[in-house]
Structure 1
Amino acid sequence: MAKRFAVVLAAGQGTRMKSKLYKVLHQVSGKAMVEHVIDQVEIAGVDKVVTIVGHGAEVVKETVGERSEFVLQEEQLGTGHAVLQAKEILAHESGTTLVICGDTPLLTGETLNQLVKHHENEQAKATILSAHASNPFGYGRVIRSAENLVEKIVEQKDASAEEAAVNEINTGTYVFDNQALFQALEEVGNDNSQGEYYLPDVIEILKNKGEIVTAYQMERMEEALGVNDRVALAEASVLMQKRINELHMRNGVTLIDPRNTYIEADVKIGTDTIIEPGVTIKGKTVIGEECFIGSNSEIRDSKIGNRVRITSSNIEEASMADDSNIGPYSHLRPKTQIGEAVHIGNFVEVKNATLGKDTKVGHLTYVGDADLGENINIGCGVVFVNYDGKNKHRSKIGDNSFIGCNVNVIAPVDVAKNAYLAAGSTITKDVPEGAMGIARVRQENKAGYWEKLPPAKK
Structure 2
Amino acid sequence: MKKAIILAAGEGSRMKSSKSKVLHMLLFKPLIMHVFDSVKNAGFDEIITVLGTKNIDEAAPVLEAKGSKIVKQELGEGKPYGTGYAVKLAKDFIKEEDSLMVLYGDTPLIDSKVIEEFTKFHNEEKSDITVLSAILDDPKDYGRIVRENGEFSAIVEKKELNPNKTYTNEVNSGIYLFSGNAFLKTIDLINDNNLKKEYMITDTIKYAKEMGMKVSAYVTSDTDIILGVNDREDLYFCERALIKRENRKRMLSGVMIHNPDLTMISPDVKIEQDVEIFGECKIYGETVIESGTVIESSTLKNMKIGKDCHIINTVAEDSVVGNNVSYGPFSRIRPNSVIKDGVKVGNFVEVKNSTLGEGTKAGHLAYIGDADVGKGVNISCGVIFCNYDGKHKHRTVVGDNAFIGSNVNLVAPVEVSNNGFVAAGSTITKPVEEDELAIERSEQKNIKEWVKKKGLHKEDF
TM-score above 0.5, yes or no:
yes
Structure 1 residues 158-177: aligned runs within 5 Å:
158-163=160-165, 165-177=167-179
Residues 149 and 212, structure 1, Cα contact 8 Å, conserved in 2: no
Once residues 128 and 157 of structure 2 are traced to their aligned partners in structure 1, the CA distance between those partners, rounded to angstroms, is: 22
Is residue 431 from structure 1 mapped to residue 432 from structure 2 by the alignment? yes
1:446 alignment partner AA: I
Q: Could you tell me how far 1:350 is from its partner in structure 2? A: 1.0
Quote the Cα distance in structure 2 between the aligned partners of 1:162 and 1:222: 30
Q: How far does residue 416 in structure 1 lie from its aligned partner after superposition?
A: 1.1
Report what 1:243 is aligned to: 245
Counterpart residue number, 1:317: 318
Of 438-447 and 95-104, deviating more is: 95-104
Match of 2:204 among 202, 205, 216: 202
Conservation of the 8 A alpha-carbon contact between 2:451 and 2:457:
no
Q: Which residue number in structure 1 is paired with residue 350 of structure 2? A: 349
> Structure 1 residue 79: deviation in Å?
0.8
Q: CA deviation at 1:182?
A: 2.4
* AA of the residue aligned to 1:45: G
- The 1:269/1:123 distance shift into structure 2, 3 A limit, reads closer
SS in 1 for 2:433: coil
Give the alignment partner of residue 17 of structure 1, picking from 7, 15, 18.
15
User: What SS does the corresponding residue of 1:186 show, helix, strand or coil?
Assistant: helix
Match of 2:298 in 1: 297
Contact conserved, 1:40 with 1:109, CA < 8 A, in 2? yes
Runs of 4+ residues deviating >6 angstroms: none
SS at match of 2:173: strand
- Give the superposition deviation at 1:129: 0.9
Q: How far is the alpha carbon of 1:310 from its aligned partner?
A: 0.8
d(CA) in 2 for partners of 1:153 and 1:240? 28
- The alpha-carbon deviation at position 57 of structure 1 amounts to 1.9
Distance of 1:45 and 1:398 partners within structure 2:
50
Give CA-to-partner distance per residue, 1:234-286, whole Å, 9 cap, x none: 11111111121112112211111212211111111122111102122121111
* C-alpha deviation, 1:364, in angstroms: 0.7
Structure 1 residues 142-291: aligned runs within 5 Å = 142-146=145-149, 148-163=150-165, 165-291=167-293
Deviation per CA, 1:149-181: give whole Å up to 9, x if none: 332211111101254642111110111222222
Q: What SS class does the counterpart of residue 34 from structure 1 fall into? A: helix
Give yes or no for contact 2:173–2:225 (8 Å, CA) kept in 1. no
The residue matched to 2:36 in structure 1 has which SS?
Answer: helix
SS at match of 1:161: coil
TM-score (norm 2): 0.94
What letter corresponds to residue 308 of structure 1 in structure 2?
C
Structure 2 CA distance for aligned equivalents of residues 163 and 36 of structure 1: 38
- Matching residue of 2:87: 83
Q: Identify which range, 399-408 or 36-45, moves more after superposition.
A: 36-45
The one-letter code matched in structure 1 to 2:230 is N
SS in 1 for 2:197: coil
What corresponds to 2:110 in structure 1?
107
Q: Give the aligned residue type for 2:90.
A: A
Q: Does structure 1 conserve the Cα–Cα contact (< 8 Å) formed by 2:47 and 2:68?
A: yes
1:32 match: 30
Q: Is the 8 A contact 2:274 2:292 kept in 1?
A: yes
**Cα distance in 1 between the residues matched to 2:4 and 2:456:** 86
Q: Tell me the residue number matched to 2:42.
A: 44
Distance 2:71 2:359 in 1: 55
Deviates more, 1:302-311 or 1:152-161: 152-161
In structure 1, give the amino acid aligned to 2:378: N
Structure 1 counterpart of 2:98, which letter?
Answer: G
Residue by residue over 1:206-260, the C-alpha shift from the partner in whole angstroms, topping out at 9 and shown as x without a partner, is 2233332221111121122112111111111111111211121122111112122
Identical-pair percentage: 40
SS in 2 for 1:7: strand
- 1:393 maps to what in 2? 394
Structure 2, unmatched stretches of 5+, are none
Residue in structure 2 matched with residue 61 of structure 1 by the alignment: 60
Q: CA deviation at 1:125?
A: 2.3
- Which residue number in structure 1 is paired with residue 137 of structure 2? 134
Q: Number of paired residues?
A: 453
Residues in 2 aligned to 1:311 and 1:455: alpha-carbon distance in whole angstroms: 45
Aligned to 2:73: 73
Structure 1 unmatched runs, 5+: none
Structure 1 letter corresponding to 2:201: L
Q: Quick one: distance in 2 between partners of 1:93 and 1:66?
A: 26
Pick closer, same or farther for the CA change 1:66–1:269 going to 2, 3 Å: closer
TM-score by length of 1: 0.94
State the SS of the aligned residue for 2:121: helix
Deviates more, 1:26-35 or 1:197-206: 26-35
- Describe the SS at the equivalent of 2:189: coil
Task: Supply the RMSD in Å over aligned alpha carbons.
Answer: 1.8
Counterpart amino acid of residue 10 in structure 2 = G
Q: Which amino acid aligns with 1:385?
A: C
Distance in 2 (CA, whole Å) between partners of 1:436 and 1:121 is 78
Residue aligned with 1:441, SS: coil
Measured against aligned partners, the alpha-carbon deviations of 1:286-335 in whole angstroms (never above 9, x if no partner) come to: 111101112x2111111111111111111111221111111111111111
Where do residues 441-456 of structure 1 align in structure 2 (5 Å cutoff)?
Answer: 441-454=442-455
